[in-house]
Every structure is written in structure tokens, then in C-alpha cells.
Structure 1
């Protein structure tokens, strides 16, 4: 794509440092930078993170006008610098441009087996009533039950099994020996909107989902695709029924997630952490490795490795238990 064509579609953007190259490959985030990509830095936190990178690919940068002066120091490290008067609205509008570019060749209406665009290992078992989209790859010994819809591009690894009525959106990669139970949706849009002038402007999602090996996901759960980069689930993680995993979450290896747990966008869950039923983790919150989160807990701030927490807001288990005991004692006191 051409940078000039992208920028002229957004009236809130002004070029500060002209482009050394007009080519733009895709819209991305700070964790997935490559040469010729476009990245939006909305505040000082993201600007500082970008500045601190030891190895910086040559990218196009858009910043909030409040940090434009500081951002000029990046001139020798970037391809261009532009300023937005309204970063949230810019994200929404540009995400639509890149979504359209990435999805314009997708064919949702015809089974890819009709034109030979599906790679289907002969040892796989595909039930009647399954839709396989274009550019779907099914590896050896995969089992897909009736009613499943697999949109491409997508890869399903060796030995995996999808039970009836699972839906898999484009840009999904499923590892080996994965089991996904009925009614689960992998790769639906994340719930992202920016409010401006009385309108909720959609943030268009095209980052996909990456699921590791030996993962199991229960019935009627949802794993939303990432905004510009994937939502990820690590090897060996087990997910119960009715779980919500939001866009850009990073779920580690060997995590246990009980029923009705919900994660906000970009939450990070460390390896081998256990979350009890109906627990919740807020947007961008980091839960360390080997933590235990009690049922119904609300984790709205980062917690360290090996923490055991409970309550709303979540706090160390013993502290929470003391608080519950004190409250009960007070409630049982005679009014004299």
C-alpha cells in the first residue's frame, strides 16, 4: 500500500517528517514490528517503549500531537513521522483500510474443495455438513464433526479434533492434538470501539488467533482474534466451557481456566496459572506464572509470580480471608 493514499483518507493526520519510502506493508503494534510497517504511538508510554528498542525495523510512525516534539528525535530511526489530532479515531479509520486490504481476496461463499484450494490430508476425517473455506490446511488424522465452519486461511494441526458446530474465522492457526468442543468460536472480532462525536467507531480486527499444541477448549467459549497481531494460547492450556478470551490476550503454557472466566483485551496470563470459575482479568493486566486466582475474583492490577489471590478487587488470599472474617464478625454483633 502507498503511504500517501493511506494518509489522505484521514483528515486528522499531518505529515511531520516526509517519508523516505512510500511503501507500507501493514498496520501493526510494537511487539510485531517489521520493515515498512505502520505503527501508531498514542502516548508517552508507547513512545518510550519504541525508543528503547535496541533493534528498530524501519517503520512509518503516527503519534499523538501532544508528543510530536519528542517524537522528532526518532527521525534517523524511522521512515516517516505523522501527527494525529485524534489518535483513537485514526486507529478506527486506518484499521478499516488495512482490514479491507487483508480480507479483499477472501471467499466466504464457496467451499475450497470445489476449486482445490484446500490442503486435506487423506488420513483426516471430515463429516458431512462441514464447510472448509479457501486456503484451509488440514493435517494428518484431524477429525472435524458435522456443522463446523472453517474459514481460510487457516491451519489445523495433526491429530486435532473439532466437535459439532465449531466456527473458526480466517487467520487462525491451531496446533497439534487440540480438542475444541461444540459451539466454540475461534477468531471472532474483538470488542473494540472508539467513541467520537456521538458514534462508536469500530476498530477492525485482522490479527488472527494462534493456538499451541495439546490445548483443549470447552463448549461455547470464545477466543477473539487480535487487533493487528494474534491472540495466543500456549501449549497444554486447558479452557473450560463459557470462557471469554478477548483480543490480543496472551495465555501461557499449561494454564487452567475454569468455566465463565473472562479476560479483558491484551491480558497476559503466565505459564501454569490456575483461574477459578467466574474469575475475571482486566484489560492489559499481567498475571504472573504459577498463580492461583480464586473463583469470582476480579484481577484489575498486575500480580507477581506464584501469587494466590481472591476477592474483588483481587488481593492476597489470607488478607481477603481476614477481611471476610472481620466483616462477618461485625455483622453478627448484637446492636445492644
Structure 2
């Protein structure tokens, strides 16, 4: 998309640098994966610091929320201008994200053919050793490596890649451009790569943020039945090598799971939460969005994590806290509730 065309989708868009409006802008990026010739949004000092401190943030177009722009010092603004490809302001970054994500989504996803099987169209690339049951559907440009098993009712939408030795069980749907590694097992009725739950509210309307980051599942991962892993917004949701995910788990957009993470049944992760290597979530444990949870952490079943967690911590309860403290609290409440009941009976 041409830089000068952005105002068609976000009317408050205003360039503050002298830039060629014919520049080709390729998409939207974020701090986890700065991509050149893409847009990066700055809403507050944290986003500004990420951009200025990153060595990877090169050839990036920057859009700053106007009320924050007015607070930026001249020296800081000069640093942004020196580093950025171009700089512009909008009245509301969240709404701009909703409005601008749609045309970039349309450009990136395009209009692939997910109506006629890629085997029939001749666009699917399938190793001769692959086993595909009746009733499976492969979209345009699907690639499947050797010794893969695809069961009945599986849908692989356009652009999906599946690594060697992977098995996908009945009824699972894998959305566009998802990348699945080697020796992965995905059990029945999972949904991989559906849009994340992202909306921005204004004047009585929930404006959708269009998700185009997709999902990357690394080697040796196992995913239980009826689990959902949402697409990243502008960069991928990632499931680290050797992670094991139980049944009915929800993983929000842009989550990053390290190596060997364990998520037990009905665990849930809010969007953009990062989980360190070999961390374990017990059954029905939850984490709020945007958290950083360290390596080797243990979260007790039913716990609710609302703050960042350091490496090696063991937590329980809601809000989650040191498990010994939580258990003492539970014992205290039980002791006094029993004492109160006894007093009333006497």
C-alpha cells in the first residue's frame, strides 16, 4: 500500500516528516518481530522505549498517538525521526490499528482458493508417503512432508505447511499459513490459527483488529483435543519445541511458549503472554494478557496469574501468589470458619 493512501482508511493520519507518499508500506509489525517497511504504533513511553532501544527496528514507519506525541520531548522526537522511515500521528492508535489492519490483511491473505481442494487444482505439494483419509480438505498451496497422517474431517486451509511425521486427528481445522513442525500430534477438533479476540470500542461499535500473524508450532509438540490456539495479530503465536498441551486449552493471540511447556486441561493464556521453558500450568490455571512468566515456574490448578512471574516460582490461588502463603491463607480461613460454625452451634 502506498504511504499516501493510509489516510483513506484512517482520516486522522497526518505525516510529520517529509516523506514520499509513493513509498510502499508492506504491513504492520510489533516489537517481537520488527519487519522493515512496516508500521509500528507508539501509544505510550513503553512502546517508544522499545522502538528506540531495539537494534532490529530499522526502516520502520512510526505512527504515534497525538496526545502522547504532544508530551514527547523535542530530543526524543528527534531520535524517533532519525531512526524511523517516516513518522505520522493519529488521534487514537487503537482505532487506527483496527482501520489500517483490514487493508493490510486483505493484501497479505489475498483471495486464496479454499473452496476447491488443492489436490484437484494441482497446487498442493504432498510427499508420496503421506496418508490422507477420505473427507479431509487441503486448500491452495498446502505443503505436507513425508510420513504425515491426516485423518478424516481435517481441514488444512491455504498456505499451511506440515512437517515430517506429524499426525492430525479427525475434525481439526488449521487456518491459513500456519506452520506445523516435525513429529507433532494434534488431536481431534482443535482449531489452530483462528483470529484472536481483538476489538477496539468507539461510539457504540466494537471495531475488529484483523489478525494476520498466524501460528508456528515447533517440533515434537502434542496438542490435546478441542484446544484452540489463536493467530498472532501481526507476528506469529509460537508454541515451543516439545511443549505438551492438554485438552480444551485456550492460547490467545501472540502468546510465546518456550521449550517443553506443559499446559494441563482447560488452562488459558491471555493474548501476548510469554511462558518460559519447562513451565507447568495445572488444570484450569489461567494467566492474564501481556504477562512474562519465567522458566521452570509451577502454577497450581485453578490459579489465576495477574502479574509477571520470576523463574522457578511456585504459585497458587487467585490472585496467584507463593503457594506456601496461599496454603496458609486457606488453612487460616478454614480454621476460623470452623471455629465460627462451632460457636454458633453452641
Task: Please report the TM-score for the alignment, with normalisation by the length of structure 2.
Answer: 0.95
- Tell me which residue corresponds to 1:44: 45
Matched, 1:335 2:340: no
- 1:28-177 equivalent positions in 2, closer than 5 A: 28-69=29-70, 70=72, 72-73=77-78, 74-177=80-183
Indicate if the aligned counterparts of 1:221 and 1:244 stay in contact, CA closer than 8 A: yes
- Tell me which residue corresponds to 1:198: 204
1:248 to 239, 245, 254: 254
Q: Distance in 1 between matches of 2:158 and 2:313?
A: 40
Ranges in structure 2 where 5+ consecutive residues have no aligned partner: none
Matched, 1:302 2:308: yes
- Deviations 1:273-330, CA, capped at 9 Å, x for gaps: 1110000000011111011100000001011101000000000010001101111111
Q: Distance in 2 between matches of 1:6 and 1:97?
A: 9
What secondary structure is seen at the aligned counterpart in 2 of 1:200? strand
Indicate if the aligned counterparts of 1:171 and 1:206 stay in contact, CA closer than 8 A: no
Question: How much does 1:235 deviate?
Answer: 0.5
- Tell me which residue corresponds to 2:8: 8
Question: How much does 1:34 deviate?
Answer: 2.5
What secondary structure is seen at the aligned counterpart in 1 of 2:343? coil
Q: What value does the CA root-mean-square deviation take over the aligned residues? A: 1.2
- 1:178-327 equivalent positions in 2, closer than 5 A: 178-327=184-333
Indicate if the aligned counterparts of 2:34 and 2:56 stay in contact, CA closer than 8 A: no
Query: How many positions carry a matched residue from both structures?
Result: 336
Question: How much does 1:215 deviate?
Answer: 0.3
Question: How much does 1:56 deviate?
Answer: 3.2
What secondary structure is seen at the aligned counterpart in 1 of 2:6? helix
Question: How much does 1:9 deviate?
Answer: 2.1
Q: Distance in 1 between matches of 2:286 and 2:35?
A: 33
Indicate if the aligned counterparts of 1:293 and 1:308 stay in contact, CA closer than 8 A: yes
The farther-off stretch of 295-304 and 64-73 is 64-73
Indicate if the aligned counterparts of 2:6 and 2:13 stay in contact, CA closer than 8 A: no
The farther-off stretch of 193-202 and 56-65 is 56-65
Question: How much does 1:40 deviate?
Answer: 1.0
- Deviations 1:166-217, CA, capped at 9 Å, x for gaps: 1000020000000000000000010000000000001110100000000000
Q: Distance in 2 between matches of 1:29 and 1:53?
A: 11
